[in-house]
A and B are shown apart, each in its own frame.
Chain A
């Protein structure tokens, strides 16, 4: 089944404790991206990747890191989480860099930072 998977789905952590949220897609998609969803703000892009070893900042990159060592994986790293990073996170992928392509989303990861 074609899908984007994320782990963990739920995470409660404390300020300053490094964490990684994994994202994997099995569709051989070229483009991958991370968004965060906050009430009243919709979804905002954190980072994106147009290819292996090619990543760039989105609209809200502060406090996050990413890597794309393999085409299928795009982990999101929070080196020192803070309470303002409490949010719902989505990984997404699409087949090519064509603006017309549809982005498909993972199931989401709900993160709480105490």
Chain B
């Protein structure tokens, strides 16, 4: 079965600290897609990144970086030099194929609190 686990329910850091959010997934597919979304206090869901299963190159976007490791079925997200504006709930998700309704399977989310 498809499953996404975000074991960290809540993380608190002080501004400028680096923080890593863990995501572990289970899938039956050989080709699959992983996503991260951010949900700030205002409530909307903001798309951050998509990664396909055949590209294990890590990705960096400003202070954000993602480490995809197929061998451990993990897709971790690191924020460098965290800021108060990074406070949000972060969701990791796995995309199902058409035969399973094209749905996103979400983890439970990690609440990140960045204190000044």
Contacts and interface: CB of A to CB of B under 8 A. Distances in A.
Contacts of A41: 108
Interface stretch (A16-24, A42-50, A65-73, A79-87): A42-50
Q: Is the interface on chain A under 10, 10 to 19, 20 to 34, or 35 or more residues?
A: 20 to 34
Contacts of B16: none
A99 B97 contact: yes
Contacts of B45: 90, 105, 108
B50 A48 contact: no
Interface stretch (B56-64, B65-73, B77-85, B99-107): B99-107
A99 B53 CA distance: 12
Nearest to B29: A99
Contacts of B108: 40-42
A31 B93 CA distance: 17
B102 A105 contact: no
Interface of B: 4, 6, 9, 31-33, 35, 37, 43-45, 47, 50, 52, 91, 93, 95-98, 101-104, 106-109
